[in-house]
Amino acid sequence: GGPHAESGRAGARVRRIRRLRPQRRMVLRDLPGLPGPGAQAVLVRSGAGTPALAARVEDHGGTIYENTDVTDIGSGHVRARQGTVTASVVIRATEAYTPRFAAYRRHIAPLYSLVVATAPLPGALRRDLGLDSRVAFNDLRNLRIYAHPTTNGRLVFGGRGAPYHFRSKVSPRFDTDVKIHARIAGTMRAFFPALADVEITHRWGGPLGVPRDWFPSVGYHPGTGMAWAGPYVGDGVATSNLAGRILRNLITGRRDELNRLPIVNHASPRWEIEPFRWLGVNAGLRAAAAADVEERLTKRPSAISALLEKLTGAH
């Protein structure tokens, strides 16, 4: 949900979306559970923009230290194995990797989102399915899915459901899960039966930073010089841009209507201690899957889903 666009080109892209022929969108919009015609999204190649963003930082006098193993973040300092950096303002923007630091172990739970990608689809098939216009979409199930066609004609299709790992552990080996990737591919084929025999050529994933109330936040404490950006609960591409502008305002004392957004200086409750966190999160994932089955069979909102919203704050 919400418009996601690169700064400077957003207006032109939105105008192109508005010119999109209605028949190109009908196949997706008619699928049950998808957001309606008012939903807006723009696909952003965030990876392609990273080198340009880094260059801008360096052009303005910033220095980027890659491959730096940070061991502690605190007021006025960042400690790394190579040494300690001191600063009047320290910004913690470590997203799903935040629990690696002892002081923030219960601030965020890393939950994995996994993705599959098909082989390039023939143009005629993309047109038949309404996938030739690079429309991004997600649905409203409890274990959310999301998808979009790529510039080279593939369909990228992702979803939740991978387990939470004990003590908020994050590892590259968790980026793939045979069982969950197969389930995501099955969901994709349920959406698009015409893709039943299409090859899945890529499988990957990564962790999302999730606070206890599933509410993103950005903030600054002038007294300690500590600022933070995130977690973003899976919406980091757009929200991190917003968080950067808010932090600019807060740190420099600039007045702006953005400073009044609910995410500013929001304090989420802490996650439970282990093993209760591991038990609770994974039980919640199973309950969400059960709620989806119940809603699919009964065609009515699940009581399990309503209970999960009350317990987690997610919606």
Boundary of a domain, candidates 65, 95, 121: 65
What strand order describes the sheet that includes 70-74? 70-74, 77-80, 83-86
In a domain? residue 256: no
Residue 181, domain CATH:
3.30.9
Give the pLDDT of residue 275. Answer: 98
Boundary of a domain, candidates 34, 65, 96: 65
Strands 145-149, 137-138: pairing kind: antiparallel
Residue-number span of the structural domain to which 7 is assigned: 1-65
157, 293: one domain? yes
7, 113: one domain? no
Please give the average per-residue pLDDT across 1-23, as a whole number.
38
When computed from its CA atoms, the radius of gyration of the chain, rounded to whole angstroms, is 21
142, 96: one domain? yes
208, 311: one domain? yes
52, 138: one domain? no
Q: How many domains does the chain have?
A: 2
200, 273: one domain? yes
Phi, psi (rounded to 5 degrees) for 115 = -140, 145
Give the pLDDT of residue 42. Answer: 67
90, 165: one domain? yes
120, 53: one domain? no
For 184-201, give the secondary structure using H, E and C.
HHHHHHHHCHHHCCCCEE
Q: At what angle are helices 276-298 and 303-312 packed, to 10 degrees?
A: 150
Give the pLDDT of residue 135. Answer: 81
171, 301: one domain? yes
In a domain? residue 244: no
Contacts within 8 Å (CB) and 24+ apart, 127-132: 128/27, 128/194, 129/27, 129/192, 129/194, 129/195, 130/24, 130/25, 130/26, 130/27, 130/28, 131/27, 131/28, 131/155, 132/24
Q: pLDDT, tens digit, for every residue of 267-313?
A: 999 999 999 999 999 999 999 999 999 999 999 989 898 888 877 76
In a domain? residue 224: no
In a domain? residue 291: yes
CA neighbours closer than 13 Å in the CB half-sphere of residue 74:
7
Name the pLDDT band for 17 (thresholds 50, 70, 90): very low
2, 144: one domain? no
Please give the average per-residue pLDDT across 185-192, as a whole number.
96
In a domain? residue 311: yes
Name the pLDDT band for 41 (thresholds 50, 70, 90): low
61, 94: one domain? no
The DSSP bridge partners found for residue 156 are: 117, 148
In a domain? residue 127: yes
Give the pLDDT of residue 136. Answer: 87
Q: Is the pLDDT of residue 39 over 80?
A: no
User: For the chain, how many residues are written?
Assistant: 315
